[in-house]
Homo-oligomer: A and B are copies of this chain.
Amino acid sequence: MANKEITIKDVAKLAECSPTTVSRVINNSDHPVSKDTAEKVEAAIEKLNFSPNRIAQGLKSDKSNIIGVIVHDICDSYFAQMVKGIEEFISGHEYIVNIYNTSRSVEKELYAVSMLKANRADAVVFAGGALMDKEYEQKMYSIVEQLKTQGTVLLGVTPHPFDINNISLGNKNAAAIIADYLVENGHQKIAFIDGPEKLYTSYLRREGLKESLLKHNLDLPDELIFSGDFSFEGGRKAALSLLDQIDKITAVVGANDATALGLIWELNNQGVKVPSDISVVGIDDLPEAKYSY
């Protein structure tokens, strides 16, 4: 922005009035402005293609109009949909939707949060789940508190250990539903493909499933928990590593739907028929899921 910008003063000059009056017209304030001058101002605005500098307005009003959205991976359908939903919800309300893709890295998440603090974000949505890491938790706790005292509204969409409002997607509830379903269909030997290590959400889903199965007197032994990372690729790899125990297993639960899809794909690829040979279930509810085989 090397060029000198068009300001309220230029408009005032052209409309032969004071900047104050122009401001009043822009924000159609309570303070009355005569029909006559208002029109001259409007004309001047039109002519100069003026639009008020949001940055300056923000400084004066102590509002940044920034809404931060912190996400693990925008390419993951789950987050893409969430970001889209937020954008659409916000659209038209003159907010800046500011996204951060953390790739589940502690550094990037801290970077995101400190940027949002420096930019005096009006609100922050923590769309990606929290990580389970002592140092991370400690640093995050501190900066989250700073955001709060700064007046930033915080919202966690996935569970967070910090003291913020959380829209829980009910991981435990999902686990219970799945457990019930599996038991009803007579499954006894169940395997679980985990989510990313250190992710709070993984923990909740895994332990939730364990707990729910236990209520039906079923066990989820460690050797039937395979590592994954919420991705299609992860699901595929997990499928390969559970192949040699396949005869012991009647159902596999993926920590999310991408995992389940990868699982199904590779099982099919290896000649294991889903769902006749084995059942596969995923958590979440992606639209793609209905096209799985």
Contact = CB atoms under 8 A, between A and B. Distances in A.
Contacts of A114: 51
A238 interface: no
A160 interface: no
Contacts of A74: 74, 80, 83-84, 87
Interface stretch (A31-39, A57-65, A129-137, A161-169): A57-65
B51 A117 contact: yes
Nearest to A53: B120
Protomer copies: 2
Contact of A75 (B3, B54, B84): B84
A53 B150 contact: no
Contacts of A23: none
A145 to B, nearest CB: 9
Contacts of A80: 74-75, 80
Interface of A: 1-3, 5, 49, 51-56, 58-59, 62-64, 66, 73-75, 77, 80-81, 83-84, 87-88, 91-92, 94, 96-101, 103, 108, 111, 114-115, 117-120, 122, 142, 146, 149-152, 232, 265, 288, 291
Given A5-B62, A75-B77, 5 more contacts: A55-B58, A92-B111, A96-B96, A97-B99, A232-B291
